Amino acid sequence: MLKNISNLGSILNKSDQQSINGGGHPTTPSKCLSCNGIWVPQAGVNGSCLLPWTSECLG
């Protein structure tokens, strides 16, 4: 069973994987705020979203 689970990344495309794991980590300031997160801008990259453990976006 573990082997089958490990292979899901190569079997499912990215959008299918996101629908299974709840959408993934927010990648924009607006998505971060909608998940009750705090957006942290970073030089050279888009930024990071800090989510509380109670966020529905972690699910």
CA distances from 32 to 9, 13, 19, 48 (A): 24, 23, 17, 9
Instruction: Give the containing element (helix H, strand E) for 50.
Output: strand 45-50
Cβ neighbours for 59, distance < 8 A, ≥ 6 positions apart? 22
CA distances from 8 to 27, 35, 58, 59 (A): 22, 26, 19, 18
State residue 10's pLDDT score.
67
Task: List per-residue pLDDT tens for the chain, 59 residues long.
Answer: 555 556 656 666 666 655 555 557 888 999 999 999 999 998 777 889 999 988 888 76
Instruction: Give the containing element (helix H, strand E) for 11.
Output: helix 8-11
State residue 8's pLDDT score.
59
